[in-house]
């Protein structure tokens, strides 16, 4: 299930299997197909914020 159509700023709790970690300017992102996600922690739970492709 690709979440590439999610709106920027949306939060997802799981990512597709085709993701890779990309470091841009010292920040880790997950790139999944055409989507970019930035992990953030809420307590001990990780969630992913949909972001624009980093520059």
Q: What residue spans define the domains of the chain?
A: 11-51
pLDDT of residue 5: 60
Distance, CA of 18 to chain centre: 12
pLDDT of residue 55: 87
pLDDT of residue 2: 43
What is the rounded CA–CA span in Å between residue 15 and residue 17?
6
pLDDT of residue 3: 44
pLDDT of residue 4: 47
CA distances from 31 to 13, 26, 39, 43, 44 (A): 15, 15, 11, 23, 22
Model pLDDT for residues 2-49, shown as the tens digit of each residue: 444 679 999 999 998 889 999 999 999 999 988 999 999 999 999 999
pLDDT of residue 40: 96
């Amino acid at each position: 299930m690709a979440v590439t159509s999610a709106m920027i700023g949306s939060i997802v709790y799981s990512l597709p299997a085709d993701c890779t970690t990309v470091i841009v300017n010292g920040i880790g992102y997950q790139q999944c197909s055409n989507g970019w996600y930035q992990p953030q922690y809420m307590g001990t739970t990780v969630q992913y914020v949909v972001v624009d492709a980093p520059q």
